[in-house]
Structure 1
Amino acid sequence: MSYSPHTAAMQLASASRGFDHLFANEISSAKKVFASENDPFHLVGAGCLCFLEASLGLETNKMTEATRLLALAEAGSRSALKAAAKSKTKASAAFPPGLEYEIANADTVVLLGISHALNESYMGYLQCIYAMNSAHGKFSKLYKTVFPNGLDSHTTPPLTPFSWTPSVTPSPADSPAITPKTSSSNLSLQPPTSSTISKTPPIRPPTKQSSSSFFGLASRWASGSSSSVSSSSSSSSSRLPSTPDGANETGNTEEIQNLKNLIIAGTAFGFGLFNLVFSLLPKRVQSVAGLFGFAHSRRLALEALSVSASYAAEGEVHGVFAGLVLMTYHGVVLLVSGYQADEARILREYENVVSGIEARYPKGALWILNRAKILRMTYDPESAIRVLKSGLEETKKDAENEHGEGFKQADTLLMFELAWIYLSQRQYAESAEAFIKLTELNSWSHGTYYFIAAGCHLSLALSDGVSPEEKEKYLNKAQELLDTIPNLVDKRKMGGKDLPTEVLIKKKLIFYKEKQKRRGGDETKFAQCIRISPAEELGIFWNTHSRISPSIAEAHIKEWSALSPPVGIDSPYMSHSNTKSEQSSTLPDLDTPDELALRFLLLGITHRSIGCVGLRLNRSPPSTEPASSSSSYVEPSISAPASDQTSSSQSFPEDLTRYEGNAPACLRASRELLNAAHALQPSIRVSTWIGGLAMFELAVLDLKEVEVEEKKEKENAASLEMSADFKKRWQSALKSARAKLDAAMALAPNSVDLSSRLDSRVAMLRDEISTKAEDIGVSL
């Protein structure tokens, strides 16, 4: 089959309509569009849709089908690329013929590679590297061709015709290999220098001749300037570069521009995603990746994704996916890194990306999810709950309209987020119900969901004021769920391996049974001996306790400190009575180093949460100026959609100022508690992950303490300039935190449960430390 730019453009336009249906939760309609043609774009669409279903729901049967479809798309794009390489016809003088198929081919490769990393095991990460090795050359070559002078100089597509050696190369006579014109400094995978990239990565899509920030672009989306592809002809012509004399372009202006948008946005997306994936792999795995010759720059990756995302307003598929990747990345950094060098900027950027795509697909579950995440990250869990519940109602209606086939996997994400928010708010009955509901929505680790739900019922049984009858009911329900778990975890495998969370759960079940037997109880009723909820324990890995309100933290502290033996560390909110154990038994509630260390860790995290309350207090007079890039984020200005804005004041009824006086004492207690958790590491038998996590949390505490002090000084100082003294204090804290991260990794070898997750968190926090050092101009 011969190459026709017009045909390629028409196929792309049709496949793009399928993606529009996908992003709007109209899965049945999307599948019909993708099944209507057999060209590379429709095959990639079908494979991508199935991949999303499989990855979002972690369903192995779907992943098998996704792999099959992506393999067909890969073969189809290679065949189309061969035909284009032989053709003399060009869609544009700016780019060689068939470059759009090269991008489609690279899309399939990276999706197949990412699937291996989803089980969070080191073997999965290594398989990801192996699978993506073939994509490395593709992305580098595409990047050099489309961005010969780097992203920073990208104001228009290159105007000179390129010679292109595709990945699938025909005979030399048909396609002489000529190296694209680049300079050795254009495309370094090392971090850009300060002269080429600012703190907010510059984005220069073809519509702009001058520099513009990501925030400006996202604001343009949010202001309603997003338009469909079919209505963008007038703006498209302004994006077209002038054509050199003697170069002919086939097809109409809109077709040419759509193909160019695909090439630019697709290249930026693929290159950015490829680098971001490697930057987020655990450091041990990155060292292996170095053997393949891989290098990465997370900052360059984020800049490339931002360039791609700027095309989302015109309906370019890669642009929308780039926005989704940026949303996911920002959400992960805010959730699990513990400290952000510039939280306010991340939140603004996150909000702008969400607003832009949300305006185009208001009913899309993925954008509803990220709206809720922003609200959660800005300490407005009640609004987040309303957004998620409303979103689930909308997707239910969509499923009915789609004859029962809505985007079930995206619904799973909404329910998953809702379940964790309920847990963070101590709404245990609602959280348990939501986690059990997840077993109906996807096939991922039902054992994990049951374990957390059982923990919620245990929390209800251990609550103050519960009657003996209610306590027995909750304990029986918890035991029932725990008894079901062994069959679930033995049945569920991913890639033939136990899931990391399930490995931990198996150990905990044995631990609980041994404790019950040791204490002379009925081993079949081991839920009776559990004093710290398994849900709260797993919540540590999802960093559930870092953004809770002071009142929630206080309730946790009183509950855990009331257990025997006494904590032995003083704080304003710690209970010293041990009334629960005095009423129930002469045996201590916690009788192993594992349990004592776990309590120290949880108490240390929750005390730090109260100690950092000053970061949420804003005593500065209202200002219309944007927040300083170095300022701490204060009470959120980001609100829920209009339908959820009942009363912003009702979202924050808690008087935060009443905790301010005790904040220094809580920070002191936090350090003592976390050090105590770490000190017990040599005695811990089962929960060997605690020592490493305690060191990580101490590193976060080092940074948070100085952040609190800095904010207080700025409130009292006439100038916002950082004093020399504070620079020294920051330098000392940054060095101390970095040393603690080294110690954390030394305590978390591969044999430690969920060590890969800690590894990723450490990598993110290291980046934030480096960013802060660069911002304030200190060396480490």
Structure 2
Amino acid sequence: MRAWFRGSAPKASAGSSPAASQTDLRAREIASMEDAMASTALIMNDDIDGAEEKLRKGDSAFHHLGLSICMFMRSILGFEKAYMVEASNRLYECETIAWNQMKKAQKEAGSSNGAEDKIYPPGSEYALVIADAQLMSAIIAVLHESLTEGLKGFYKLRKAFITLDGIMQSETAYLKRKGLHSDFSKENIESSSSSISGGHGSSNDTDDTDLEFVDADEGHSGTQTPLKYEGHLSKSTDTPEKRMSKLSINSNSASKPGGTNRPVSPPTRGGFKSGPDSEIFSNTVDSFTHSGVNMCYGSLLLLLSMVPPTFSRLLSIIGFTGDRERGINMLWQSSKFDNINGAVAGLMLLSYYNGLLSFADILPSEKDIRNGAVIGYPKARCSALIAQMRTRYPESGLWRFEEARVLSISRDLPGSLRLLKSNTKSKMRQVTALNNFEMALNTMFVHDYPEMRDNFIRCIELNDWSPSLYYYIAGCAELEIYRNAFHSEKKDETRIQLHKKKTNELLRKAPTVAGRKRFLAKPLPFEEFVSRKMQKWEDRSKELGIDLVDAIGVSPTEEVIYLWNGTKKMQASELEMSKKALAWDRLTAPKEAQTKIRSEIDEQAVRDVCRASVARSLGNFDEARELLDTVLAMDKLAFKGPTKDDYPLPGAHYEMAALAWNEVLNPELRKDVNEEDEEGWLREKVNECQSWLEKVAKWEAFVLDARIGMRVQTGLDTIRWYKREHK
């Protein structure tokens, strides 16, 4: 029957051969890949509409991936639900198409007689597309409002992890056959496949009897066959968590007495270069695969490493353990390539360094960073990466936005604001929204209350991530303007009442729009924080018989500054302004009511933790410790209740850890320490810092545990690194 149906097909010409047809197929694939990558790269130049228009003209898996990335970027930059739903649909379609094209590529390769030694198995580029789609799907699912979708997301993460791991093992095997080695390969690394699948088999297992996490069919056409063998690739008796913790792409990352970690560029060996100018990755498909695997795998490892302690313990049960250093190394490797993978890797790095890492205080010293400490903040390297990306994508406001964030981390808030104000006209609304939010934060840090208010109100117009938070912080700005008018030497009653009315309107609006956004079926932590705050002030207002605006105690603006770690970005003059804003005499309630407000334990604790953070940033460490000792002596039960502020006590523990770390980094603080005792003293301080952090990591759930937890997780990573490198 097969021969009968083939009868009408045109016969191959006498000169044709399987090798020739395979060459033509490869040429078409490379052309499609190059076209799709060039079109997708327009996203990084703020031309997402142009990218979509060009990508719709192609029908390859690479074009579908590009279209999916367009929608993913729209959804992730703006956190908008409508875009998330469409992105999920596109990603599923992309995954299906890539699956079919992967099977076709494997079949075509199997029918050819060529014995060419290739880096990756046939169809690996399509397997990468599948993993890429799964990774983006997982991120969207976790950000979705449904717990069920979130669980599906973790399942997708696992599948992507295994695929990426398999591709990297193929690369490592190829380099070994050629007598080459790259620090970014997986030489000497145990397979993570068994870790991800639970790893409960005994060390003598030689068959595929592990039935945990069996991948169910997801509607792909054709028979599902793994890209390569995914059984028990190692016979280790270690636990899954221990095996996962040993994963490293840097063969030199084992502990070495007095050694330093130098991850920036892998050493050449046997003439091998790991960058885009390498002969190994000169082929377009190989270059795409190598840069893509490093980007995807690195992003996954980095994201998992930043999960707050309470959630990371849950993930470790099923074998998900991040590796911050390894993930960062892989992203830097990918960023060397001038393609969409390199651009996304660069964006991930800058988002990590200028965003999440800007919240952290416990980081390696400048000297350690110069010596190659990956987990620190490499300012010079970030600036060089931004310059490189601005050269590649000169029309994009995204890289100017990142440049402004570098300035703010350098405590140049005025310079950062100037750059942000000149960067408000991006063709992508999502980039404009990011730029405006950063501008709103910076105006808060410099205490420009009118600009702070206007910028946060503009955030409501630009995106719908959390209108409740935007209204709340705008109301906090208006409150400071009201307090300034109230305490002015020249009283203007009309102005006082005007700002009091505006404060009331903005703050009361906040809880009415709360709850629209959810994370894994739960309210956003900051929206829950806002709702509790408003209820606290409402209850106090009724109890004391005063207006809601006058029932507010400690400056809520300074509280938000603390929660965003704005003190880390302030100069001394700005910190002094924070100090004044935290004074009790800023309250506007009658004297008797003020006395009652000031007597509340959690109110005192909020104020003292904020003041301690300011004192630490000013270098007044003894003052900071004295304030924190007061908070630590408070009764834990005083923070229990539906409207109580429950974060100051764990926040005080974190601040104590930061103070201990300051003493480790600053020799001038080592009072009365002899040179002979210095090593023991340093060890004691590092252990003290770790002890405070571990207490916070084990703390019971509180409203803002994820925000403080990110700082704690980074601190613990730093301590682990320090103990390994400074033995």
- Which residue does 1:328 correspond to in 2? 351
Give 1:51 deviation, angstroms.
1.1
- Which residue does 2:262 correspond to in 1? 200
- Which residue does 1:239 correspond to in 2? 278
| Counterpart selection for 2:78 from 57, 73, 76 | 57
Indicate how the Cα distance of structure 1 residues 180 and 285 shifts in structure 2: closer, same or farther if over 3 A, else same. closer
Give 1:208 deviation, angstroms.
9.7
| Counterpart selection for 1:699 from 629, 650, 657 | 657
Unaligned runs of 5+ in 1: 159-165, 218-235, 242-253, 396-405, 564-577, 612-665
| Counterpart selection for 2:625 from 671, 679, 682 | 671
Please say if 1:448 is aligned against 2:464: no
Deviations 1:528-586 (A, max 9, x none): 221333332233221122221122222222332343xxxxxxxxxxxxxx897788977
Q: Distance in 1 between matches of 2:724 and 2:161?
A: 30
Q: Distance in 2 between matches of 1:12 and 1:363?
A: 24
Please say if 1:604 is aligned against 2:612: yes
Give 1:496 deviation, angstroms.
4.5
Conserved 8 A contact 1:73-1:105 = yes
Indicate how the Cα distance of structure 1 residues 307 and 601 shifts in structure 2: closer, same or farther if over 3 A, else same. same
Q: Distance in 2 between matches of 1:208 and 1:30?
A: 40
Mapping of residues 369-384 of structure 1, within 5 Å: 369-384=401-416
Mapping of residues 426-465 of structure 1, within 5 Å: 426-463=447-484, 464-465=487-488
Please say if 1:388 is aligned against 2:416: no
Indicate how the Cα distance of structure 1 residues 310 and 208 shifts in structure 2: closer, same or farther if over 3 A, else same. farther
Deviations 1:441-462 (A, max 9, x none): 1111101100001001111112
Q: TM-score, normalised by structure 2?
A: 0.80
Which amino acid in the other structure matches residue 36 of structure 1? K
Give 1:102 deviation, angstroms.
0.7
Q: TM-score, normalised by structure 1?
A: 0.75
Which amino acid in the other structure matches residue 599 of structure 1? R
Give 1:130 deviation, angstroms.
3.1
- Which residue does 1:630 correspond to in 2? none
Give 1:697 deviation, angstroms.
1.2
Indicate how the Cα distance of structure 1 residues 152 and 597 shifts in structure 2: closer, same or farther if over 3 A, else same. farther
| Counterpart selection for 1:733 from 675, 678, 685 | 685
Which amino acid in the other structure matches residue 297 of structure 1? D
Deviations 1:246-275 (A, max 9, x none): xxxxxxxx9x72211101111111221121
Deviations 1:7-61 (A, max 9, x none): 2211111111222211010122111012222221111111111111111111111
Conserved 8 A contact 1:125-1:285 = no
Indicate how the Cα distance of structure 1 residues 83 and 550 shifts in structure 2: closer, same or farther if over 3 A, else same. same
Give 1:126 deviation, angstroms.
5.5
Q: Distance in 1 between matches of 2:506 and 2:479?
A: 11
Please say if 1:297 is aligned against 2:318: no
User: Secondary structure of 1:132's match?
Assistant: helix
| Counterpart selection for 1:338 from 356, 361, 365 | 361
Mapping of residues 762-773 of structure 1, within 5 Å: 762-773=712-723
- Which residue does 2:204 correspond to in 1? none
Deviations 1:65-110 (A, max 9, x none): 0001111111111111110110126898333322111111100001
Deviates more, 1:697-706 or 1:53-62: 697-706
- Which residue does 2:59 correspond to in 1? 38
Deviations 1:470-510 (A, max 9, x none): 33222211111122223211444456532211111111111
| Counterpart selection for 2:387 from 355, 358, 383 | 355
| Counterpart selection for 2:494 from 466, 469, 472 | 469
Conserved 8 A contact 2:443-2:451 = yes
| Counterpart selection for 1:532 from 539, 550, 554 | 554
Give 1:301 deviation, angstroms.
1.5
Mapping of residues 349-748 of structure 1, within 5 Å: 349-393=381-425, 395=426, 406-463=427-484, 464-465=487-488, 467-493=492-518, 496-521=521-546, 525-563=547-585, 587-611=595-619, 666-680=620-634, 681-684=636-639, 685=641, 686-708=644-666, 710=667, 723-747=675-699
Which amino acid in the other structure matches residue 112 of structure 1? S
Give 1:753 deviation, angstroms.
0.2
Indicate how the Cα distance of structure 1 residues 601 and 468 shifts in structure 2: closer, same or farther if over 3 A, else same. farther
Indicate how the Cα distance of structure 1 residues 102 and 598 shifts in structure 2: closer, same or farther if over 3 A, else same. same
Q: Distance in 1 between matches of 2:53 and 2:90?
A: 15
Q: Distance in 2 between matches of 1:440 and 1:670?
A: 39
Give 1:189 deviation, angstroms.
5.3
Indicate how the Cα distance of structure 1 residues 555 and 34 shifts in structure 2: closer, same or farther if over 3 A, else same. same
- Which residue does 2:136 correspond to in 1? 111
Indicate how the Cα distance of structure 1 residues 123 and 733 shifts in structure 2: closer, same or farther if over 3 A, else same. farther
Indicate how the Cα distance of structure 1 residues 668 and 503 shifts in structure 2: closer, same or farther if over 3 A, else same. same
Conserved 8 A contact 2:143-2:519 = no
User: What root-mean-square deviation, in Å, do the aligned CA atoms of Structure 1 and Structure 2 show?
Assistant: 3.6
Deviations 1:565-623 (A, max 9, x none): xxxxxxxxxxxxx8977889774553422211111111111111111xxxxxxxxxxxx
Deviates more, 1:726-735 or 1:371-380: 726-735
Conserved 8 A contact 1:205-1:310 = no
User: Secondary structure of 1:141's match?
Assistant: helix
- Which residue does 1:398 correspond to in 2? none
Unaligned runs of 5+ in 2: 1-20, 187-214, 237-242, 255-259, 370-376
Q: Distance in 2 between matches of 1:364 and 1:117?
A: 28
Indicate how the Cα distance of structure 1 residues 87 and 352 shifts in structure 2: closer, same or farther if over 3 A, else same. same
Q: Distance in 2 between matches of 1:493 and 1:120?
A: 5
Aligned length: 638
Give 1:206 deviation, angstroms.
8.7
User: Secondary structure of 1:489's match?
Assistant: coil
Deviations 1:218-248 (A, max 9, x none): xxxxxxxxxxxxxxxxxx7x6334xxxxxxx
User: Secondary structure of 2:645's match?
Assistant: coil
User: Secondary structure of 2:423's match?
Assistant: helix
Indicate how the Cα distance of structure 1 residues 739 and 364 shifts in structure 2: closer, same or farther if over 3 A, else same. same
Give 1:170 deviation, angstroms.
7.5
Indicate how the Cα distance of structure 1 residues 156 and 532 shifts in structure 2: closer, same or farther if over 3 A, else same. closer
Deviations 1:101-158 (A, max 9, x none): 1111100001111123447999987664333122221121111112336999228999
User: Secondary structure of 1:462's match?
Assistant: helix
Give 1:184 deviation, angstroms.
8.7
Residue identity (%): 21
- Which residue does 2:17 correspond to in 1? none
User: Secondary structure of 1:281's match?
Assistant: coil
Which amino acid in the other structure matches residue 153 of structure 1? H
Indicate how the Cα distance of structure 1 residues 739 and 319 shifts in structure 2: closer, same or farther if over 3 A, else same. same
Deviations 1:147-192 (A, max 9, x none): 336999228999xxxxxxx9999879x999668999999x975154
Indicate how the Cα distance of structure 1 residues 181 and 505 shifts in structure 2: closer, same or farther if over 3 A, else same. closer
Please say if 1:87 is aligned against 2:108: yes
Conserved 8 A contact 1:85-1:169 = no
Give 1:210 deviation, angstroms.
6.5
Deviates more, 1:358-367 or 1:77-86: 358-367
Please say if 1:260 is aligned against 2:260: no
Q: Distance in 1 between matches of 2:101 and 2:442?
A: 47
Give 1:772 deviation, angstroms.
2.6
Q: Distance in 2 between matches of 1:559 and 1:679?
A: 25
